[in-house]
Chains A and B, each alone.
Chain A
């Protein structure tokens, strides 16, 4: 959309100064480094210019999205984080799926699924890991985001240890797998549909909603905007 090179978002600070890197460094060191931004993927440096809402600043050589602000992103992210906490909390405790075959029936909750591995002593560690990946890490991440963003949105000074909290939240991102679990449910259902009759509990629909919420969260989260707000 606006990520074409013709869109003047930011310019390379060393532009036109030739390949002598030592000269460039000396020239830049005197300037305000705070106005520069480095692509975390390829180390390219640009002069950061805040793009218009809904527009994006993209790295010219590796196309990593560097800045992507959205109007009222803070409020939306807080709403999504609250919804994630409520949904996972409720989905963890209420029945999630129920099967019936040959006159026997059985229901399980999300936590029950995680703890299925604990039946074997050898798989105890796996039970804890799965419970962490699908319940505890997603909830912790949502709580950290609430803790960091609420003061920013209310125009208050950042919360104590907000930087460490946001850093932890970012580090946990790959390990928050609630949405992977939701897709896993779909696969499991296909596998047992010919073996037994399946009923969906309320928690199943909650986890389906979660997949959409997590996509929304990734769309509205502009890390650059959060870090610059925490700097003030």
Chain B
């Protein structure tokens, strides 16, 4: 897009934009005549919804880490593994790489997502020294990564469907899998509730304050 003048937002131009199909309508139009989507200059109660889903996600993440994710029964023993416990177990067997992947996917990324969504919502409410374009990038990363966290739940599903070898070894899902799935889905809904147009309504921090940050 070539811009010869200043970029104007639909709201500043007295218009309301459809976020589904990108059509614009005069302000006050109820629904998009092209795609049928309800129109709002900004998503109503966006930040409240973000915080509500965010809290549910965080609450569910606690039992997801306390309860076992996998229960492994062999001839001689029964073993319950939590997310972190399973990774530690694998690391003790010498597979440091796999342990690092599991810890990244199920611990670092979820916690990073909680921090990122909270940071974005706070930046809309209280302003930020990070540029709007940078925060938009952060938002897109969070939205993209969100669904990939379900990988853990799918791994539990595959393992417990597959490893059913009678007395030799059998794996069954633990209660943490439900809490982890709820946490991932709530975090996805939290990110989806965030109207990124709010980021662009605020002022961009001046280059001077940004260089002070660096």
Which stretch (B19-27, B44-52, B55-63, B119-127) binds chain A? B19-27
**Of the candidates A29, A120, A183, A184, which one forms a contact with B172 in the assembled complex, judged by CB atoms under 8 Å apart?**
A120
Place the interface of chain A in its size category.
Answer: 35 or more
A61 to B160, CA, bound (A): 47
Would you give the shortest CB distance from A13 to chain B, in whole angstroms?
7
* Most interface-central of A14, A24, A97, A191 (chain B CB within 10 A): A191
Contact across chains for B14 and A163 when beta carbons are under 8 A apart: no
Contacts of A180 in B (CB 8 A): 147-148, 150-151, 154
Q: Are A44 and B165 in contact (CB under 8 A)?
A: no
A-B CB pair tally, cutoff 8 Å: 268
Q: Which A residues are in CB contact (< 8 Å) with B212?
A: none
Chain A residues, CB < 8 A from B18: 38, 40
Taking CB atoms, residues of chain B closer than 8 Å to A34 are: 23
What mask results when residues 179 to 206 of chain A are scored 1 for a CB within 8 Å of chain B, else 0? 0110111011011101110000000000
The smallest C-beta distance from A106 to any residue of chain B, in angstroms, reads 5
19 pairs, CB–CB < 8 Å, chain A vs chain B = A8-B2, A11-B1, A11-B3, A12-B8, A17-B5, A21-B13, A43-B11, A45-B17, A61-B132, A105-B165, A113-B161, A114-B157, A116-B157, A126-B153, A129-B181, A163-B35, A174-B146, A181-B154, A184-B155
Q: Which residues of B are interface residues toward A (Cβ below 8 A)?
A: 1-15, 17-26, 34-37, 90, 93, 98, 101-102, 132-133, 136, 140, 143, 146-148, 150-166, 168-169, 172-173, 175, 177-178, 181, 185, 188, 192, 196-197, 199-201
Additional A-B contact list (6), CB under 8 Å, known A25-B15, A181-B154: A33-B23, A33-B26, A42-B200, A61-B132, A66-B1, A163-B34
